[in-house]
Amino acid sequence: MAKEIKTIAVLTSGGDAPGMNAAIRAVVRTALFRGLKVKGIKRGYNGLLNEEIIDMEARNVSDILQRGGTVLGTARCLEFKEPEYQKKGATICRKHGIDGIIVIGGDGSYRGAQALSRQGINTVGLPGTIDLDIACTDYTIGFDTAVNTAMQAIDKVKDTSSSHERCSIIEVMGRNAGYIALWCSIANGAEDVLLPEKYDYNEQEIINHIVESRKRGKTHHIIINAEGIGHSTSMARRIEAATGVETRATILGYMQRGGSPTATDRFYASIMGAYAVDVLLQGRTNRVVGYRKGEFVDFDIEEALQMKKSIDEYQYEVSQVLTI
Ligand code: ADP
Ligand code: F6P
């Protein structure tokens, strides 16, 4: 049973994601409403080790709901993988009177939270990543905004691609996961989609598809390529040489990670932020919040880290069928 919670802290870790600010705001305001003190830890676990810890009041989180990025800053802190630094982190928490920490980030960040929990600090993780690659949840903070940003960019590339009757390879983020690519392939009506989970590296099949589409009168050919496959520029050169169709590569990059969060990201991140505070207040620790089958839920961190997630077969099939 966790000890009574009087002061909690919030930090963001790993890649930033639109909606993280909405979650921070919800944590701070829910905790204050419930009579707790709240602190913000800057720059992820780096900031914890460097004691970059600030008091958070309701006004500290004014006017951030609609902003991308994270007002607390984020970082990848490799030292925190080592037990010595995890112990130091817990000692710093105790020194600042922090009884519980809410960590907003991905799987790596949960491992840091788990380490702190083992050192006696209560922890709850929130799924913050544009990649949607966290197995215990159907939703991650930032995915909806990122996919909408990518979709709008791809629409624009499609306009010019059609006008010039070109083929376009558009590379989207997602690390080793193909969720952003899959969603864009359906939302943008792409002719081909290459997902790390599915692609068999049979480039000849793509070449044949382009040639056949041309014969059927298609004036463009959009290929969504996931970051986990990459090499879009060299692929474009090979495809142009093999098909005779002018082919360009566009790598969307970090623009997908920024920008004002959608209503979905603001809403879900806000609920999850409040939910995390309530989990701590119920005396539970080493938990991660998720959204599954229409409900907000929480899991033990270890259990969550053991879960597996894969591309939905039916959604993938639909993405293929709709390209005819
Ligand atoms: P994400 O949280 O998006 O998966 P990372 O994998 O980069 O991103 O992890 C973010 C941070 O979490 C790391 O920089 C490190 O500070 C911490 N972290 C990652 N793995 C561990 C681990 N095994 N033990 C403790 N902390 C970890
Ligand atoms: O996890 C979010 C993400 O944007 C991935 O899609 C991408 O692979 C990675 O972060 C890039 O990380 P960095 O900011 O370290 O270049």
30 found inside a domain: yes
Task: Give the strand order in the sheet containing 100-105.
Answer: 53-55, 37-41, 7-12, 100-105, 122-127, 287-292, 295-300
The whole-angstrom separation of Cα 64 and Cα 95 is 29
20 found inside a domain: yes
323 found inside a domain: no
* Residues 27, 124 within the same domain: yes
* Residues 274, 216 within the same domain: no
* Residues 271, 134 within the same domain: yes
Give the residue from 233, 257, 281 where a domain finishes. 257
DSSP 297-315: EEEEHHHHHH------HHH
* pLDDT at residue number 324: 79
Could you tell me if the CB of 257 is within 6 A of ligand 1? no
49 found inside a domain: yes
Q: Token pair of 136, please? A: 């215990």
Please answer whether residues 45 and 12 qualify as being in contact, where contact means their C-beta atoms are separated by less than 8 angstroms: no
pTM for the model: 0.96
Task: Give the ligand with the smallest distance to the CA of 118.
Answer: 1
CATH code, domain carrying 191: 3.40.50.460
* Residues 167, 131 within the same domain: no
* Residues 121, 266 within the same domain: yes
Tell which residue, 191, 5, 11, 204, has the closest CA to residue 113.
11
The domain in which residue 161 lies consists of 146-257
The atom of ligand 2 lying closest to the CA of 133 is 1
* Residues 15, 133 within the same domain: yes
* Residues 265, 251 within the same domain: no
- What is the mean pLDDT of each successive set of 10 residues along the chain, which is 324 residues long? 82 97 98 98 98 96 98 96 98 98 97 97 98 98 98 97 96 98 98 97 96 92 98 98 98 98 98 98 97 97 97 96 88
CA torsion sign for 36, 39, 44, 46 is: negative
CATH code, domain carrying 29: 3.40.50.450
Could you tell me if the CB of 173 is within 6 A of ligand 2? yes
* pLDDT at residue number 175: 96
Ligand 1 centroid distance, CA of 103 (Å): 11
Could you tell me if the CB of 147 is within 6 A of ligand 2? no
Q: Whose CA is nearest to atom 9 of ligand 2?
A: 175
315 found inside a domain: no
What is the phi/psi pair of residue 21, to 5°?
A: -65, -35
313 found inside a domain: no
Q: To the nearest 10°, the Cα dihedral for 40, 43, 49, 53? A: -20
207 found inside a domain: yes
Please answer whether residues 182 and 193 qualify as being in contact, where contact means their C-beta atoms are separated by less than 8 angstroms: yes
Task: Give the ligand with the smallest distance to the CA of 76.
Answer: 1
* pLDDT at residue number 1: 46
Give the residue from 257, 287, 319 where a domain finishes. 257
* Residues 138, 155 within the same domain: no
* Residues 289, 226 within the same domain: no
Could you tell me if the CB of 178 is within 6 A of ligand 2? no
* Residues 133, 229 within the same domain: no
322 found inside a domain: no
DSSP 152-163: HHHHHHHHHHHH
* Residues 301, 237 within the same domain: no
Question: How many CB atoms sit inside 10 A of residue 61's CB?
Answer: 22
Q: Which residue has the tokens 């921070």?
A: 24
Total tally of structural domains belonging to the chain: 2
* pLDDT at residue number 291: 98
Give the residue from 257, 273, 294 where a domain finishes. 257
* Residues 206, 268 within the same domain: no
Q: Whose CA is nearest to atom 26 of ligand 1?
A: 112
